[in-house]
Amino acid sequence: MSTEATTPKPVELVNVQIDGVWHQFPKGTRVIEACSQAGKFIPRYCYHPKLTSPGNCRMCMVELGMPKMTPDRKPELGPDGKPLHNWIPRPQISCAQDVSEGLGVRTDSSMVQEARKGVLEFLLINHPLDCPICDQAGECRLQEFSYDYGQAKTRFLDEKVKKPKRVEIGPRVTLDDERCILCTRCVRFMREVAKDDVIGIVDRGSYSSISCHPGKTLDSNYSLNTVDICPVGALTSTDFRFKMRVWFLKETKSICTSCATGCNTVISARENIVYRQTPRENNDVNQAWMCDYGRLNFHYLHSPERLLSPVVRGHEQPDWKNAIATAAAELKAVAPEQIAVIASGKMTNEELYLTAQLAKALGVKLHDIVPHTDTGDDILLSTDRNPNTAGAKLLGVSASTPGANLSAVVEGIRSGAIKALIVLGEDATLAGLTSADLTKLTVLVTTAILPNATTAAATHLLPSAAFAEKRGSMINKNGRLQRLNRAIQPPGLARDDWEILVGLTEAVTESSLGFNAIEDVVKAMTAATPALAGLSLSKIGDLGVQLPLPANE
């Protein structure tokens, strides 16, 4: 991308007239972007700022004018001292044209309006009347621009061309060729970003259609991005298919917690049910993309197995105060050197800070997080599947190499030197322990959202909140501090992790920490952590803040 030049060259600005008003733009800006920045949105289908411009949809046409020149190649000036224009007598596409000195643009002249209307009429000739059953309805560019620039009636008398519908083009993507307007955004995405060039256009004329290479499927881990960029309902997500109309969805800006990249996302939920996750543009993290693995990794939020109530020694204890008090009392009865803490790299910074406070209150020295790694790729997916390893290191919960202290915990439990274990949002059996080892413990306090081997052996089970159910911050692998937001409420009696940790710490120390809201925790954490000094959840903002930290990978 030319705009991301690393050398700090002085930006050359050019003067451009858009609808009679003169603006200045850096050289190399596309006309369509310049118009958007000037507040004149140009309708487009094939153009996407992160992809190349083939200029094939013809929707973004504008009138362009070159500065009028005198015979000695000087611009001819009007009475206002600005150049006059020679308007090109036919409309031009604005997506493949860079701004130049003295350029004139008319975005809404009668010629432009006529051109848009004509283009839309052509696009709608073979388009089916699928809107009531189409998942794109409500966020469909064809619908939107038809309202804005189209006409209500069709002049087309012939039968529409039939094309394949409901095609499983990949394991996660459903294709409807009749709805396709052949903008080739998906083709370009797979070629340029996902580097898996499996889809293209086959056949000719009005029979042209999107298809997969014979013998291949659209099974890239980035395939669902084609669904996002498809301006119509041709490519739809099989997972989201017919689940919910988009106009019901409440959108919450958050981040993906499936790996250390921390892609910016939008969580779409209705009435406490998350229906989908989509990427949100952040040029410092994930551009406008995210991987399918992270995107679909939310269904466990609504698992029927979710833990809903605290359990103390096999008995449900719906009274949180009681559950926390007994857990704290039993922990205090154990000597500090006989206690260990296994935390998680999936916890937010605030929770990790409180974990450190709890460990301090109990006098525990032995604590670590469980590292999770898996194969990554060189696009977005990181090998580190803990979203907040950097935060765990920064706040001192993790060993300098995550997982280095775990062998000491395992040995301690096996030899009987460790009698009490606190497991936060993790499964201790993934840290090298067996279920039999866990039964040796006299106290096993755990927070969890889903049952696992640790919760089965826990003496005190405290159900907590999942990533879409809480607020907080995390630090990604490049040291960028980002914010999680609450999209839905935790189910049943499950509580926010920070409340559980504050409750435990207060019960252990028998004094109040004075934390009434997550903001209070953030305030205490940033005051105690030099790297986070002066920051708050609102200062992190939607796009996050780059911390001066050494990169994690």
Partner 1 sequence: MAYQVPRPKLTFAEKIYLPSVIAGLKITLGHLWRMLRGKTHVCMQYPEEKWDSHLPPHYRGAPTLVSDEFGRTRCVACQLCEFICPPRAIRIKPGEIPAENKFAKVEKFPEEFQIDMIRCIYCGLCEEVCPEQAIFLKKEYAITGTSRAAMMHQKEKLIEMGGIQPGVVNKWNEKK
Other CB atoms within 10 A of residue 147 CB: 9
Question: Does 133 sit near partner 1 (CB under 8 A)?
Answer: yes
Tell me the three-class secondary structure of 293-338, residue by residue.
HHHCCCHHHHCCCCCCCCEECCEECCCHHHHHHHHHHHHHCCCHHH
The residue (of 245 and 440) whose beta carbon lies closer to partner 1 is 245
The residue (of 270 and 360) whose beta carbon lies closer to partner 1 is 270
Q: Rounded to the nearest whole angstrom, what is the least distance from the CB of residue 136 to partner 1 in the complex?
A: 12
DSSP strand E in 2-142: where?
A: 13-18, 21-26, 61-67, 85-87, 92-93, 103-106
Q: Rounded to the nearest whole angstrom, what is the least distance from the CB of residue 144 to partner 1 in the complex?
A: 17
Other CB atoms within 10 A of residue 283 CB: 13
**Mask for 369-408, x = binds partner 1 (CB under 8 A):** ----------------------------------------
Question: Does 241 sit near partner 1 (CB under 8 A)?
Answer: yes
Question: Does 167 sit near partner 1 (CB under 8 A)?
Answer: no
Which stretch in 32-40, 50-58, 149-157, 241-249 sits in contact with partner 1 by CB under 8 A?
Answer: 241-249
Question: Does 245 sit near partner 1 (CB under 8 A)?
Answer: yes
Q: Rounded to the nearest whole angstrom, what is the least distance from the CB of residue 168 to partner 1 in the complex?
A: 10
Which residue is it, tokens 């977005």?
Answer: 380
Which stretch in 235-243, 318-326, 408-416, 427-435 sits in contact with partner 1 by CB under 8 A?
Answer: 235-243
The residue (of 96 and 161) whose beta carbon lies closer to partner 1 is 161
Q: Rounded to the nearest whole angstrom, what is the least distance from the CB of residue 36 to partner 1 in the complex?
A: 30
Could you give the CA distance from residue 31 to residue 21 in angstroms, rounded to a whole number?
14
- What letter represents residue 289's amino acid? W
The residue (of 133 and 517) whose beta carbon lies closer to partner 1 is 133
The residue (of 174 and 225) whose beta carbon lies closer to partner 1 is 174
Question: Does 132 sit near partner 1 (CB under 8 A)?
Answer: yes
Q: Rounded to the nearest whole angstrom, what is the least distance from the CB of residue 178 to partner 1 in the complex?
A: 9
Question: Does 160 sit near partner 1 (CB under 8 A)?
Answer: yes
* Of the candidate residues 131, 202, 513, 545, the single one contacting partner 1 (CB under 8 A): 131
* Residue 387 burial by Cβ neighbours in a 10 Å radius (0-12, 13-18, 19+): buried
26 backbone dihedrals φ, ψ, rounded to 5°: -65, 145
Which stretch in 25-33, 104-112, 240-248, 412-420 sits in contact with partner 1 by CB under 8 A?
Answer: 240-248
Tell me how far apart the terminal alpha carbons of the chain are, to the nearest angstrom: 24
**Mask for 91-130, x = binds partner 1 (CB under 8 A):** -------------------------------------xx-
Other CB atoms within 10 A of residue 328 CB: 23
Which stretch in 40-48, 245-253, 431-439, 542-550 sits in contact with partner 1 by CB under 8 A?
Answer: 245-253
Could you give the CA distance from residue 337 to residue 359 in angstroms, rounded to a whole number?
11
Query: Which of helix, strand or coil describes residue 368?
Result: strand
Tokens of residue 354, six digits: 């409180």
Could you give the CA distance from residue 40 to residue 106 in angstroms, rounded to a whole number?
10
* Of the candidate residues 165, 302, 360, 523, the single one contacting partner 1 (CB under 8 A): 165
* Of the candidate residues 2, 152, 215, 242, the single one contacting partner 1 (CB under 8 A): 242
Q: Rounded to the nearest whole angstrom, what is the least distance from the CB of residue 129 to partner 1 in the complex?
A: 6
Which stretch in 140-148, 182-190, 238-246, 290-298 sits in contact with partner 1 by CB under 8 A?
Answer: 238-246
* Helix-helix angle 320-332:497-509, to 10 degrees: 50
- Please check whether residue 532 is in contact with residue 525, taking contact to mean a CB–CB distance below 8 angstroms: yes
* Residue 36 burial by Cβ neighbours in a 10 Å radius (0-12, 13-18, 19+): middle
Could you give the CA distance from residue 140 to residue 181 in angstroms, rounded to a whole number?
12
Question: Does 247 sit near partner 1 (CB under 8 A)?
Answer: yes
Could you give the CA distance from residue 61 to residue 46 in angstroms, rounded to a whole number?
12
The residue (of 170 and 279) whose beta carbon lies closer to partner 1 is 170
The residue (of 4 and 159) whose beta carbon lies closer to partner 1 is 159
**Mask for 135-154, x = binds partner 1 (CB under 8 A):** --x-----------------
* Of the candidate residues 166, 213, 313, 321, the single one contacting partner 1 (CB under 8 A): 166
Q: CA torsion angle for 120, 122, 127, 132 (degrees, to 10)?
A: 20
Question: Does 336 sit near partner 1 (CB under 8 A)?
Answer: no
Output the CA angle 473-298-431, nearest 5 degrees: 70
Tokens of residue 512, six digits: 């109040």
Length of the chain: 553
Residue ranges that bind partner 1, judged by CB under 8 A: 128-129, 131-133, 137, 159-160, 165-166, 241-245, 247-248
